[in-house]
Structure 1
Amino acid sequence: MIGRWLIAVSLAWPLVLIQSASADEQEFFKQRVQPLLERRCYECHSHRAKELQGSLTLDSRSGWVKGGDTGSAIVPGKPDESLLIKAVRRTSKDLQMPPNEKLKDEEIEVLVEWVRRGAVDPRESPDSESGGGSWTEKLSLRRKHWCWQPVKRPAVPGVVDASRIPNNTRTRDASATAIDRFLLTRMKSEGLEPSRDADRWALARRLSFVLTGLPPEPRDVEAFVADESPDAFDKLVDRTLASPQFGEHWARHWMDLVRYSDTHGSEHDPLIPHAWRYRDYVIRALNSDVPYDRFVREHLIGDMLPPRWNPTLGINESPIGTGWFRFVEFYPTPIDVKNEEVVV
């Protein structure tokens, strides 16, 4: 179960990285750019301005995309071509903003950096983050965000055309899996066709590299190619999952998550005593298919849970999970306790 979770996370990881980068850009906008726009620009260029200047609003993304009398205010990624940057730099006598007091150099640099990084702006409307609208209205809007919506189980699409289902996933009743149905239904609506089936040699290699990080044994590939039974691929998956290398390979992903290391780092880089016990514990948990919720509980309160005995080693696995608390930054230099106190 842990393995399935890790595999799912690995497949989604590129998207997570993209979303993480986007989150960083949004944070930069909210912390650095938006307050600057509110303080120095909204008086003349927002929906709350007494008299809108130049038909330009800067209190929403659509405002600067649409632009004002002179066109779009920003060219994402190109600060030197953006009218907003030209205005605050005052490179032209006819385009100088704010009109009375020039922005400080560091303020200009914030706007330049924002535009250079793509001008990410999460504001959908003038009231989405600031400006008009009561707190009740803002709260209501925020509650509509997708992350607060109840989880729903969508209806699985009906049986799709069997000819569209890859042979490697096709079942006897030609219904495929629920995931196949969702994918194929969406692909059909987009006018797309599934890729052609990989040959058995390629399929065996892909499976082995994904699950173990290693190339398959030639004899295993030959046996799979020669196996004409309808469940040949299923049997190959089961054999590969049963390999000790499965746990070793996927444990690395989990240990990256918890920042596993044999040493503490820093200039002295002292060893962490018995760190390897936690490493081996994770490998055994993956190869034993320990339920994910149990695995997480062992990390948090493994010493307080009912024992999970390993009959081969004759040990209780549960307390070893708490070893991940040991992987922290560590300084061998004596600490001045009084100096480290935090006044709350």
Structure 2
Amino acid sequence: MYVSSARLAQTFCSGLCFALLLSLPLIEVASAEETPLTAQKIFYLQKIRPLLEQKCLGCHGSTPDDIKGDYNMLTRDSLIRGGESGEPAVIIGKPEESPFWKAVTWKDENIQMPPQERNRLNAAEIADLQQWISTGAVWTDRELLPSSTNNSSQQSSIVMSTSGGQSPTWTNRTYEPADIWAYQPIQRPPVPWAALGKKLNSQRNPIDAFIQQKLKQKQLIASPAAEKKTLIRRATYDLTGLPPTLKQIHEFENSQHQDSWSLLIKKMMESPHYGEQMAQMWIDVVRYADTSGFANDYERPNAWRYRDYLVRSFNADKPYDRFIIEQLAGDELDPDDPELLIATGYLRSGPWEHTGMSVAAVTRQLFLDDITQSTGVSFLAHSFRCAKCHDHKFDPVPTRDYYRIQAVFAPVQFADRKVEYQPYENISGFADMKERTERLLAETRAQQQQFKEKTDAAIAAWLKENGYQNLKQVAADKRPPLRWFGLSEFEKSLLKINNKRIDYFERELKRYEPYAFSVYNGPPNNYRSTKTVNLIPGAKQKQGEIQQTFILAGGAITAPTEKVTPGVLSAVAGSNSSREPNAWNTIPQTSEGRRLALARWIASSNNTLTARVIVNRIWQLHFGTGLVATPNNFGQKGDQPSHPELLDWLATWFMDHGWSIKQLHQLIMTSETYQQSSQPV
């Protein structure tokens, strides 16, 4: 692989993951009558070809007219032959002597491929290449079918239907059923009542039946019931985040009512602190913050309205499917409803900053990446970020899907919407707080004015001393530092600090004005975080072309490739609208309605992920660990459900009961499973 290292290092990773053998010459044409693939060819198809596609062909095979270093890796002969150095890159049977192998192991300081540390081959991949070269570098242009292997377990593997990967190999790869459980339709398993023996119906909770069944299979027994004092502490901490009062403990311990436990749970959920506790859980999920992060970390003075919306929603037991739609697309659902405009603060919750030092295209892409990832993790327990640069290595999430979902958010623009404070919003004390902020702002500005006057006096004295009438007569490179000339080091520090204080106080004043931290749909609006208020523009300014979305090679905004239209996660059962043009999840191409369609797809009972994800989060809140121990990852690298039948039963029960989170709490907490002691038998 002796090629110009300078040329390759400069260009290798510009398209690492997106030239995926789409132009492979069909030298070896397979037919149904051909003999089965040999073990060496299967090894090449399973291990080597995907590795070359992901790591090499971006620069050595994406387009025949643009082969870096004249090294073409599209055929076996050209891969072995090497590049512009004229020396063979692969010596058959001798990997350690092959420049190709030395390059991918980074053993030669003059050429290290791929050149970026994050794209280096791991030990297993290097070992596969070593084995491949040692055994003859066997190559085939046939496709690997599930029946092409002698491994009997392969027969049960599944090819997932998706919108299509960047190569036929990825598109047609197979998955073990256990690894793609979350994509399969939610089942409605029967409750194993027999596991509870002869208990009366009034004493039977379906959760206990599933748990007891699993315990018996493992020859285990449940712990005894916890004492009342433990239970009330457990309930109040779970539902309100607060310890019980002595009065509450005494009343519960001495209650003779047969439903005292159930009544206690209902009472805790009627407390306003319940909504605060649940909102705290949710703002952690959706990465809410009161400041914007990055260098300036500007305050978000009106973000509290979204936080309080969450508290109200949980206290009102808003159906979870409606809760999803309001946050993702409240403004599209009803642009005249103040509560729905406030709800879209979810879309603004991630870190974001755009200043005069920023590149607009970069900050825009940072937002699109963030909201795509957040939507996947928050509602679907899927991290989409891996698919930004390449088809997902483990899950059936093609890069195309990543950018199709991102296209849903392409029309989203930031704005401070004027939304009058509602009677149910707490603005008590605003007058006093505003007066205090105005006073601090005035004091800071007065001190800055003193520094300016001192600087002006020092500059005037310098001009006089050096025989100048004004600064215009002084060459630019000889002028004194105008901003802090004549100030002490301490005063210079105060000057910088005060500039920041002024920024913060100006934004703090915005809290006392009826703005909503919200969004609207339209073309780019040059929103800057350095501006204190960015109002929604008029109708004329909202007209124009909506940002188009392209698959970005390697995730780089400088390398757009195929244009995509809005879509959803195609691997979810029933989501591949390319085969079902009238499917329930169709996303419109217009600027309006994209988010609403996505939200309805997520909130649909047909979605295989959404209900499972939220019931798992509620289970985790009560037990510390979810039925799926990785609540943000239902993919292959996440944990599989410990009780898959119970998870699906809870998901169907939850949807059957109006997506009510309070009813789900009641069901879980009235089970013997929840009420057992934490001490083992």
Provide the TM-score with structure 2 as the length reference.
0.30
- Structure 1 position 112, deviation (Å): 5.1
Find 1:223's aligned residue among 251, 255, 264: 251
- Structure 1 position 291, deviation (Å): 0.8
Find 2:342's aligned residue among 309, 320, 324: 320
Find 1:139's aligned residue among 159, 167, 170: 159
- Secondary structure, aligned partner of 1:49: helix
**Per the alignment, do residues 47 and 211 of structure 1 end up closer, same or farther by CA in structure 2, a change over 3 Å counting?**
farther
- Secondary structure, aligned partner of 2:39: coil
Could you tell me which residue of structure 1 aligns to residue 221 of structure 2? 193
Could you tell me which residue of structure 1 aligns to residue 50 of structure 2? none
Letter in structure 2 aligned against 1:275: A
Does residue 300 of the first structure (1) align with residue 328 of the second (2)? yes
How high is the sequence identity, in percent, across the aligned residues? 31
- Structure 1 position 273, deviation (Å): 3.1
Say whether the 8 Å CA contact 2:232–2:249 is kept in structure 1.
Answer: yes
Q: Distance in 1 between matches of 2:361 and 2:322?
A: 40
Say whether the 8 Å CA contact 2:196–2:208 is kept in structure 1.
Answer: no
- Structure 1 position 201, deviation (Å): 0.4
Q: What do residues 106-162 of structure 1 show as CA deviations (whole Å, max 9, x unaligned)?
A: 4688545999xxxxxxxxxxxxxxx97238977374495434433221111124446
- Secondary structure, aligned partner of 1:240: helix
Q: Distance in 1 between matches of 2:279 and 2:363?
A: 36
Q: From the CA coordinates, give the structure whose radius of gyration is larger.
A: 2
- Secondary structure, aligned partner of 1:252: helix
- Structure 1 position 186, deviation (Å): 1.7
- Secondary structure, aligned partner of 1:317: helix
- Secondary structure, aligned partner of 2:201: coil
**Per the alignment, do residues 339 and 326 of structure 1 end up closer, same or farther by CA in structure 2, a change over 3 Å counting?**
closer
Q: Distance in 1 between matches of 2:348 and 2:264?
A: 38
Q: Distance in 2 between matches of 1:249 and 1:157?
A: 33
**Per the alignment, do residues 197 and 338 of structure 1 end up closer, same or farther by CA in structure 2, a change over 3 Å counting?**
closer
Q: Runs of 5+ in structure 2 lacking a partner? A: 1-16, 18-36, 48-93, 108-119, 127-141, 149-157, 161-173, 365-556, 561-681
- Structure 1 position 329, deviation (Å): 3.1
- Structure 1 position 48, deviation (Å): 3.0
**Per the alignment, do residues 292 and 339 of structure 1 end up closer, same or farther by CA in structure 2, a change over 3 Å counting?**
closer
Q: Distance in 1 between matches of 2:298 and 2:96?
A: 60
Letter in structure 1 aligned against 2:159: L
Say whether the 8 Å CA contact 1:204–1:221 is kept in structure 2.
Answer: yes
Find 2:189's aligned residue among 130, 154, 159: 154
Could you tell me which residue of structure 2 aligns to residue 251 of structure 1? 279
Alignment of 1:1-344 (within 5 A): 48-49=39-40, 98=95, 100-101=97-98, 103=102, 106=105, 111=122, 133-134=144-145, 139=159, 141-142=174-175, 144=177, 145-161=180-196, 173=201, 175-305=203-333, 316-334=338-356, 335-337=358-360, 342=557, 344=560
**Per the alignment, do residues 270 and 149 of structure 1 end up closer, same or farther by CA in structure 2, a change over 3 Å counting?**
closer
- Structure 1 position 104, deviation (Å): 5.2
- Secondary structure, aligned partner of 1:236: helix
Letter in structure 2 aligned against 1:245: H
Letter in structure 1 aligned against 2:181: W
Q: Runs of 5+ in structure 1 lacking a partner? A: 1-30, 32-45, 53-57, 60-96, 116-130, 166-171, 310-315
Q: Distance in 1 between matches of 2:95 and 2:124?
A: 19
- Structure 1 position 326, deviation (Å): 2.1
Letter in structure 2 aligned against 1:296: I
**Per the alignment, do residues 223 and 259 of structure 1 end up closer, same or farther by CA in structure 2, a change over 3 Å counting?**
same
Q: Distance in 1 between matches of 2:259 and 2:146?
A: 59
Letter in structure 1 aligned against 2:320: Y
Q: Distance in 2 between matches of 1:340 and 1:199?
A: 55
Say whether the 8 Å CA contact 1:261–1:327 is kept in structure 2.
Answer: yes
Say whether the 8 Å CA contact 2:288–2:349 is kept in structure 1.
Answer: yes
**Per the alignment, do residues 49 and 326 of structure 1 end up closer, same or farther by CA in structure 2, a change over 3 Å counting?**
closer
Letter in structure 2 aligned against 1:330: W
Q: Distance in 1 between matches of 2:278 and 2:312?
A: 11
Say whether the 8 Å CA contact 2:268–2:274 is kept in structure 1.
Answer: yes
Letter in structure 2 aligned against 1:227: S
Say whether the 8 Å CA contact 1:162–1:175 is kept in structure 2.
Answer: no
**Per the alignment, do residues 331 and 338 of structure 1 end up closer, same or farther by CA in structure 2, a change over 3 Å counting?**
closer
Letter in structure 2 aligned against 1:324: Y
Could you tell me which residue of structure 1 aligns to residue 651 of structure 2? none
Letter in structure 1 aligned against 2:274: F
- Structure 1 position 242, deviation (Å): 1.1
**Per the alignment, do residues 230 and 251 of structure 1 end up closer, same or farther by CA in structure 2, a change over 3 Å counting?**
same
**Per the alignment, do residues 302 and 218 of structure 1 end up closer, same or farther by CA in structure 2, a change over 3 Å counting?**
same
**Per the alignment, do residues 176 and 191 of structure 1 end up closer, same or farther by CA in structure 2, a change over 3 Å counting?**
same
Q: Distance in 1 between matches of 2:217 and 2:271?
A: 40
Could you tell me which residue of structure 2 aligns to residue 23 of structure 1? none
Q: Distance in 2 between matches of 1:231 and 1:339?
A: 58
Say whether the 8 Å CA contact 1:157–1:182 is kept in structure 2.
Answer: yes
Say whether the 8 Å CA contact 2:235–2:265 is kept in structure 1.
Answer: yes
Q: Distance in 2 between matches of 1:340 and 1:239?
A: 47
Letter in structure 1 aligned against 2:346: W
- Structure 1 position 223, deviation (Å): 0.8
**Per the alignment, do residues 136 and 281 of structure 1 end up closer, same or farther by CA in structure 2, a change over 3 Å counting?**
farther
Deviates more, 1:215-224 or 1:330-339: 330-339
- Structure 1 position 320, deviation (Å): 1.1
**Per the alignment, do residues 160 and 318 of structure 1 end up closer, same or farther by CA in structure 2, a change over 3 Å counting?**
same
- Secondary structure, aligned partner of 1:197: coil
Q: Distance in 1 between matches of 2:176 and 2:334?
A: 40
- Structure 1 position 227, deviation (Å): 1.0
Provide the TM-score with structure 1 as the length reference.
0.56
Q: Distance in 1 between matches of 2:187 and 2:205?
A: 19
**Per the alignment, do residues 147 and 337 of structure 1 end up closer, same or farther by CA in structure 2, a change over 3 Å counting?**
closer
- Structure 1 position 302, deviation (Å): 1.4
- Structure 1 position 224, deviation (Å): 0.8
Ranked by relative contact order (alpha carbons within 8 Å, sequence separation 6 or more), the top structure is: 2
Say whether the 8 Å CA contact 1:158–1:181 is kept in structure 2.
Answer: yes
Q: What do residues 208-229 of structure 1 show as CA deviations (whole Å, max 9, x unaligned)?
A: 1111221111111111111122
**Per the alignment, do residues 308 and 185 of structure 1 end up closer, same or farther by CA in structure 2, a change over 3 Å counting?**
farther
Say whether the 8 Å CA contact 1:307–1:317 is kept in structure 2.
Answer: no
- Secondary structure, aligned partner of 1:274: coil
Deviates more, 1:153-162 or 1:289-298: 153-162
**Per the alignment, do residues 181 and 264 of structure 1 end up closer, same or farther by CA in structure 2, a change over 3 Å counting?**
same
Q: What do residues 92-114 of structure 1 show as CA deviations (whole Å, max 9, x unaligned)?
A: xxxxx846446458468854599
